[in-house]
Structure 1
Amino acid sequence: MAKSQSLTFFFLLLVISFLASGAKAASFTLTNNCGYTVWPGILSGAGTAPLSTTGFVLNSGQSRSVDIPSSWSGRLWGRTYCSTNQSTSTFSCVTGDCGSGKIDCSGSGATPPATLAEFTLNGSGGMDFFDVSLVDGYNLPMLVSPTSSTASSGGNCTATGCLADLNGICPSNLKVILSDSGGQSVACKSACDAFGKPEFCCSGAYGNPNTCKPSSYSQIFKNACPRAYSYAYDDATSTFTCPTGVNYIITFCPSNPGQKAGENNPQAAGIPLINDSMVFLGPASGGTLAKTWRFAAVTSAASLAAFWLQF
Structure 2
Amino acid sequence: STVIFYNKCKHTVWPGIKPSAGEKLLAGGGFELPANKSHTIQLPPLWSGAFWGRHGCTFNKYGHGRCTTGDCGGYLSCNGSGGSPPATLAEFTLGPLDFYDVSLVDGDLNQMCPVGLQVMSRNGKRVVACKSACSVFKLPKYCCTGLFGNPISCKPTAYSKIFKTACPTAYSYAYDDPTSIFTCSKANYIVTFCSHHRR
TM-score (normalizing by structure 1)? 0.62
Q: Who is 1:46 aligned against?
A: 21
Partner residue of 1:110 out of 83, 103, 113: 83
Tell me whether 1:213 sits opposite 2:159 in the alignment.
no
The partner residue of 1:55 within 25, 30, 40 is: 30
Task: Name the structure 2 match of 1:281.
Answer: none
> Which residues in structure 2 correspond to 1:220-231 (within 5 Å)?
220-231=162-173
The percentage of counterpart residues that share the same residue type is 52
Could you say what secondary structure the match of 1:66 adopts? strand
User: How far apart are the structure 2 equivalents of 1:37 and 1:179?
Assistant: 17
**Residue in 2 that maps onto 1:257:** 198
Q: State the shift of 1:91 in Å.
A: 1.9
Aligned to 1:177: 120
* Inter-partner Cα distance in structure 2 for 1:90 and 1:71: 31
Q: Per the alignment, in what secondary structure is the counterpart of residue 29 of structure 2?
A: coil
By percentage of residues, which structure has more helix? 1
**Partners of 1:179 and 1:49 in 2: how far apart?**
34
* Contact map agreement 2:18 2:29 (CA 8 A) in 1: yes
Mapping for residues 235-246 of structure 1, pairs under 5 Å:
235-243=177-185, 245-246=186-187
1:179 and 1:58, CA in 2 relative to 1: closer, same or farther beyond 3 A?
closer
What are structure 1's unaligned runs of at least 5 residues? 1-25, 140-165, 259-311
1:198 and 2:140 correspond: yes
Q: Distance in 2 between matches of 1:133 and 1:176?
A: 18
- Equivalent AA in structure 1 for residue 8 of structure 2: N
Pairwise CA RMSD of aligned residues?
A: 1.5
Select the residue among 102, 105, 129 that pairs with 1:187.
129
Counterpart-to-counterpart distance in 2, 1:257 and 1:44 = 30
Deviation at 1:227, TM superposition (A): 0.5
Matched, 1:248 2:189: yes
- Aligned-partner Cα distance in 1 for 2:60–2:91: 30
1:84 CA displacement: 2.5
Shift >6 Å, 4+ stretches:
none
Pick the structure with greater CA Rg. 1
2-structure distance, mates of 1:92, 1:83: 6
Offset at residue 48 of structure 1 (A): 1.1
Greater relative contact order (Cα 8 A, min sep 6): structure 1 or 2?
2
**How many residues matched?**
199
* Residue matched to 1:134: 104
d(CA) in 1 for partners of 2:68, 2:122: 12
Stretch of structure 1 that moved more, 53-62 or 29-38? 53-62
User: If the length of structure 2 is used for normalisation, what is the TM-score?
Assistant: 0.96
Task: Decide whether aligned partners of structure 1 residues 195 and 85 sit closer, same or farther in structure 2, where only a CA change above 3 A counts.
Answer: farther
Task: Report deviation, 1:85.
Answer: 5.7
1:47 and 1:76 mapped to 2: Cα distance?
Answer: 16
Deviations 1:171-218 (A, max 9, x none): 000000134142x11110000011110110001111110111100000
Q: Give, in angstroms, the shift of residue 102 of structure 1.
A: 2.3
Task: Letter of the 1:175 partner, please give it.
Answer: Q
Q: 1:73 aligns with which of 27, 48, 62?
A: 48
* 1:92 and 2:92 are equivalent in the alignment: no
